[in-house]
Amino acid sequence: MRIGITMGDPNGIGPEIVARFWAEKKYRDCVVYGNAAALSAYARLSAEIIDPYGRLPEHSRGRVSAVCGAAAYAYLEAAARDALAGRIDALVTAPLHKTALNLAGYKYAGHTEILAKLTGAKKFGMFFYSPALCLMLATVHQSIRQVPALLTRQRLRDTVELALLGLRLIGLPEPRLAVCGLNPHAGEDGLLGLEEKKIITPVVRGFRRAGLNISGPFPADTLFLPEQRRRYDLIIAHYHDQGLIPLKMLAFDRAVNVTVGLPLIRTSVDHGTAYDIAGRGIARTGSLAAAVRLARKMVKNRAG
């Protein structure tokens, strides 16, 4: 098994967490896509390093840079190409910076959208795993204003099916799912919004008739409470912060971001470039270690 790890934005904490993770864990099946000089500033690596971008000019850690955005894209593109060709079995990504990426001319919201473009995936989504909570998002990097129009019955059906795919890859073939309401109090029987009655409830009923153990919509302000969320293996949230706020409160250093629906396995840290602490030697490697462990597990489950 060979796991590819991308370094991410050179000005963020990516080089530090990748170098320190490899120095600590010494997984011999990992290959790093990044810059040797940037990595060696934090630890001595004897891992295989693939650098499709080349020498980086002098730059300052913790600052937005078009050059670093271009380099991060090059690392990701090379790793995705190798994954599609079977040269690596899974892809694990350290964070890139969206502004740097766009300054470099790559007009994407993040890894998820880039990988969908590079692989030709049509249906894909963000699945999050942690010991405390599994989560699927119906919409991803959209503004709050856009969410109600984007939340259609078909989109929600696709989200449920992608969630089931992710759960099978982590070893849960018969899961229990819960769906958040979009509006306060799950719409209060239509008084606070009609999305629950017109979109969410019909989709949930359709899957239940097909034999899926799925329930909802539930008010999101109580669904994430311990006694509620422990009844389910995964919760579907409708927009970024509805799901990511409770996830990061519960498992910031243990959560893993998975892109489901791609023709390759991709896991990622569940944090950003953290420019404010880049180069200070205090970035934690826990989320990266969890992402590598989950990638290895998913490869084995896919093979089985």
**For residue 177, what pLDDT is reported?**
98
Mean pLDDT, to the nearest integer, of 69-73? 96
Query: Residue 47 above 90 pLDDT?
Result: no
Candidates 169, 170, 196, 166; CA nearest to 182 is 196
- Quick check: is 269 in a domain? yes
Within this chain, do residues 230 and 138 fall inside the same structural domain, yes or no?
Answer: yes
Within this chain, do residues 56 and 23 fall inside the same structural domain, yes or no?
Answer: yes
- Quick check: is 245 in a domain? yes
- Quick check: is 206 in a domain? yes
Task: Judge residue 66's burial from the number of C-beta atoms within 10 Å of its C-beta, 0-12 exposed, 13-18 middle, 19 or more buried.
Answer: middle
Q: Using an 8 Å Cβ cutoff, are 60 and 96 in contact?
A: no
Cα dihedral 71, 79, 270, 277, rounded to 10, equals -30
Within this chain, do residues 90 and 141 fall inside the same structural domain, yes or no?
Answer: no
d(CA 146, CA 41) in angstroms, rounded, equals: 42
Within this chain, do residues 268 and 187 fall inside the same structural domain, yes or no?
Answer: no
**For residue 279, what pLDDT is reported?**
87
**For residue 160, what pLDDT is reported?**
98
Which of 212, 232, 252 lies at the terminal end of a domain, its last residue? Answer: 252
255 CB-near residues (< 8 Å, 6+ apart) = 128, 129, 130, 133, 247, 248, 270, 287, 290
**How many angstroms from the chain centroid is the CA of residue 51?**
23
**For residue 133, what pLDDT is reported?**
92
**For residue 66, what pLDDT is reported?**
93
Task: Judge residue 121's burial from the number of C-beta atoms within 10 Å of its C-beta, 0-12 exposed, 13-18 middle, 19 or more buried.
Answer: middle
Within this chain, do residues 286 and 221 fall inside the same structural domain, yes or no?
Answer: no
Read off the pLDDT of residues 203-213 as tens digits, 9 standing for 90 and up: 999 999 999 99
* Least confident window among 10-19, 71-80, 252-261: 252-261
Within this chain, do residues 231 and 139 fall inside the same structural domain, yes or no?
Answer: yes
What's the domain count of the chain?
2
- Quick check: is 180 in a domain? yes
Between the CA of residue 84 and those of 4, 73, 129, 229, 286, what are the distances in Å? 12, 16, 23, 36, 27
The type of residue at 302 is: R
d(CA 272, CA 34) in angstroms, rounded, equals: 17
Read off the pLDDT of residues 158-198 as tens digits, 9 standing for 90 and up: 999 999 999 999 999 899 999 999 999 998 888 888 999 99
Query: Residue 110 above 90 pLDDT?
Result: no
Average pLDDT over the chain, rounded to whole?
Answer: 92
Query: Residue 26 above 80 pLDDT?
Result: no
Mean pLDDT, to the nearest integer, of 126-136? 94
Percent of the chain whose predicted confidence (pLDDT) is above 90: 76
Helices (H) and strands (E) in the chain, counts: 13, 11
Within this chain, do residues 75 and 16 fall inside the same structural domain, yes or no?
Answer: yes
**For residue 23, what pLDDT is reported?**
83
**For residue 275, what pLDDT is reported?**
93
Residue 109 pLDDT class (50, 70, 90 cuts)? confident
**DSSP H helices in 2-65:** 14-25, 36-40
**For residue 139, what pLDDT is reported?**
94
Q: What is the CATH number of the domain that holds 148?
A: 3.40.718.10
Side-by-side strand order, sheet with 125-129: 48-50, 30-33, 3-6, 90-93, 266-269, 256-260, 125-129, 135-137, 234-237, 176-180, 213-218
Domain that holds residue 69: 1-121+262-304
**For residue 120, what pLDDT is reported?**
93
Higher pLDDT, 198 or 25: 198
* Joined tokens for residue 90: 């899974």
Beta pairing partners, 269: 256
Query: Residue 59 above 80 pLDDT?
Result: no
Within this chain, do residues 148 and 101 fall inside the same structural domain, yes or no?
Answer: no
- Quick check: is 257 in a domain? no
- Quick check: is 14 in a domain? yes
Within this chain, do residues 16 and 98 fall inside the same structural domain, yes or no?
Answer: yes
d(CA 169, CA 164) in angstroms, rounded, equals: 9
**For residue 173, what pLDDT is reported?**
87
Within this chain, do residues 229 and 269 fall inside the same structural domain, yes or no?
Answer: no
d(CA 29, CA 293) in angstroms, rounded, equals: 12
What's the CA angle centered on 287, arms 285 and 290, to 5 degrees? 105
- Quick check: is 53 in a domain? yes
Q: Using an 8 Å Cβ cutoff, are 287 and 256 in contact?
A: yes
Alpha carbon distance, N-terminus to C-terminus of the chain: 14
Higher pLDDT, 231 or 270: 231
Within this chain, do residues 182 and 284 fall inside the same structural domain, yes or no?
Answer: no
- Quick check: is 64 in a domain? yes
**DSSP H helices in 85-110:** 98-103
Query: Residue 43 above 70 pLDDT?
Result: yes
Read off the pLDDT of residues 240-295 as tens digits, 9 standing for 90 and up: 999 999 999 998 878 899 999 999 999 999 889 999 999 888 899 989 999 999 99
Within this chain, do residues 175 and 200 fall inside the same structural domain, yes or no?
Answer: yes
Query: Residue 68 above 80 pLDDT?
Result: yes
Highest mean pLDDT among 73-87, 106-120, 272-286: 73-87
Mean pLDDT, to the nearest integer, of 78-84? 97
